[in-house]
Structure 1
Amino acid sequence: MIEWIYVKRLWDYLEEDVMPEDITTKFLEGIKARGVVKCKDSGILAGNRFVIPFLNYLGFSNINGEKDGSEVNKGDVVLLFEGNADVLTVERLILNFLGKLSGIATITNLMVKRAREVNPNVRISGTRKTTPGFRLFEKYAIEVGGGDPHRYNLSDAVLIKDNHIALYGNIEELIKRVKSSVSFTKIIEVEVSSYEDAIRAYKAGADAILLDNMKPYEILPIVNELKGKVILEASGGITPDNVVDYARTGVDIISSGYTTHSSRSLDFSLDVEKI
């Protein structure tokens, strides 16, 4: 059922590209075609889970595709489908969609592998730095790459950030107020930027502590003090180039917006064959 909810999203994206009509492809009416999507890159495939039911919904047939999470290389065929000349109408949407999601899955997978070489249990997590209207797909791609999606929205968990504390005025009192009211199903995480605030948040009852924009050498004493007592998450400016340094500190979670806002799309192409 959930795939069909996503199919509606893809329909909206197609409408953006097609309305009111494809004024070029309409002149090819009656011609039967096969679409062959090939990878021109190397990485982790993501997106076929949604593209395949979408193509089926549009009436295309003989649809076959590689599974999400598969390693793909230059020249690999990742998707085949047949229909009329409308193969060309959906071409750009499919390539953009697969390219974006596969790029996120690929860079996430790279960061996971690098981090776990030095910290086998660490999780690489996403953030809410996502494309408006596209978050569900981007979070899915993070999972395909072996990462953790983190919060999908503001109702998933309590995350008390520096601006919340600045407005309320007292970190301990705010944590206690939240704990007395929020459902037991929601964890309470507190963002800090110093050793002292991390200790205060822990003593006030936080379930998780987000170490924001701190250097690895600043994080290490906090890990030494609180490891195993509370979930420790490092965040802020973490990329494939420095993820190993943060993983070495022993934190439980490394969250990075890089996977969604700075990942490079994988390159795919679509060739058509007349049938």
Structure 2
Amino acid sequence: MSPHAYANLLPPSWKTVVLEWFKEDCPSFDWGGYVVGEEERTATLLCKTEGVLAGVPFVNAVFEEMQCSITWNFDEGYFFTAKDSMPGTPEGRVKVAVAHVRGPTRNLLLGERVALNTLARCSGIATSSRRMLNAARAAHYRGIVAGTRKTTPGFRLVEKYGMIVGGVDAHRYDLSSMVMLKDNHVWSTGSITNAVEAARRAAGFSLRIDVEVQSKAEAEEAIRAGADVVMLDNMTGDELVACARSLKSELGDAHRFLLESSGGITLANLEQGAHLDDAIDIISTSAIHQSTQHVDFSLKIDH
């Protein structure tokens, strides 16, 4: 395994969440497990739609907890297509043997749905992320493509992990990762300048301050107040590009800052060239992880 395997990003405490997943999925009697018993069997993990494989360490931990072993046929980050399908698969269909799992039948089936749900969601986000990044690069955008913090409570680690495997920037992980000042922070403190100055006093030099603005005038105030990143929220098309270029031209020599475009960015409008300009350093979007289509996986006992 590469020393830079994605799994090496995960904190040592993360596996505790696996037990919580099992508590949710099997809170009392395991009726199906009683039926099938504990004879040792093998099962094949199948992928049935195109997509990026992401979530391998989570699936490993699920089956490890169930005293099962798993062998993967592909590296994490691989993009499955019909060409990877098993012999005999109808033309144009996807049916890829992704991995093989071995263990007591009861345990295989206990881990099945927890593993598949996690893998499907994480791979879906990785796939959307890969497609968004590819569209940006195809349009010759050289800046950062990032996700957002609009993740599912309790499942953020998996979703942020999927973004990283898909190749995009995960943006800030939580409220402590970077200072982001939005309209409510500004209204509560009276001005952008007041909010930035208060944030800098508390956060010091080691954290970036990202300020959400609605106009060029607000962007100028944020930059002069010392914001590291200025988010041009819900600006689109010519307005966005004109604002970004003007800010870089007028203030770029005297101040160091990044410009971020956010709000309503999807694969469709990205492919049309919206938001893509060298003056814009970061494109952030929740489209890669909200309302994202899952990659379809199944687990079949070999027989």
TM-score, normalised to structure 1's length?
A: 0.93
What does 1:14-25 correspond to in 2, within 5 Å?
Answer: 14-25=22-33
Match of 1:187 in 2: 208
Match of 1:161 in 2: 182
Q: Which runs of 5+ in 1 are unaligned?
A: none
What does 1:85-234 correspond to in 2, within 5 Å?
Answer: 85=105, 86-227=107-248, 229-234=256-261
Question: 1:172-230 CA deviation, whole Å, 9 max, x = no partner?
Answer: 23222322332211001110011111112112211110011111222112221234641
TM-superposed CA distance for 1:65, in Å, is: 4.7
Tell me the percent identity: 35
Q: SS state of the match for residue 31, structure 2?
A: coil
**Equivalent in 252, 272, 275 of residue 301 of structure 2:** 272
Equivalent-residue separation in structure 1 for 2:202 and 2:12 (angstroms): 36
**Equivalent in 62, 83, 103 of residue 103 of structure 2:** 83
Code of the aligned partner of 1:175: V
Answer with 136-145 or 66-75: which moved more: 66-75
TM-superposed CA distance for 1:118, in Å, is: 2.3
RMSD of aligned residue pairs (Cα, Å): 1.8
Equivalent-residue separation in structure 1 for 2:177 and 2:209 (angstroms): 10
Match of 1:50 in 2: 58
Match of 2:5 in 1: none
Q: 1:209 to 1:62 in 2, by over 3 A?
A: closer
Q: SS state of the match for residue 260, structure 1?
A: coil
Equivalent-residue separation in structure 2 for 1:122 and 1:217 (angstroms): 18
8 A Cα contact 1:108 1:142, kept in partner: yes
Equivalent-residue separation in structure 2 for 1:220 and 1:243 (angstroms): 14
8 A Cα contact 1:158 1:186, kept in partner: yes
8 A Cα contact 1:4 1:53, kept in partner: no
Q: SS state of the match for residue 95, structure 1?
A: helix
Q: Which runs of 5+ in 2 are unaligned?
A: 1-7, 82-93
Equivalent-residue separation in structure 2 for 1:173 and 1:268 (angstroms): 50
**Equivalent in 280, 289, 293 of residue 260 of structure 1:** 289
Code of the aligned partner of 1:264: Q
**Equivalent in 38, 42, 46 of residue 30 of structure 1:** 38
8 A Cα contact 2:62 2:111, kept in partner: no
Q: SS state of the match for residue 63, structure 1?
A: strand
Q: 1:146 to 1:33 in 2, by over 3 A?
A: same
Equivalent-residue separation in structure 1 for 2:38 and 2:220 (angstroms): 70
Q: SS state of the match for residue 5, structure 1?
A: coil
Match of 1:249 in 2: 277
Q: 1:30 to 1:204 in 2, by over 3 A?
A: closer
TM-superposed CA distance for 1:68, in Å, is: 1.6
Q: SS state of the match for residue 214, structure 1?
A: coil
Q: 1:149 to 1:216 in 2, by over 3 A?
A: same
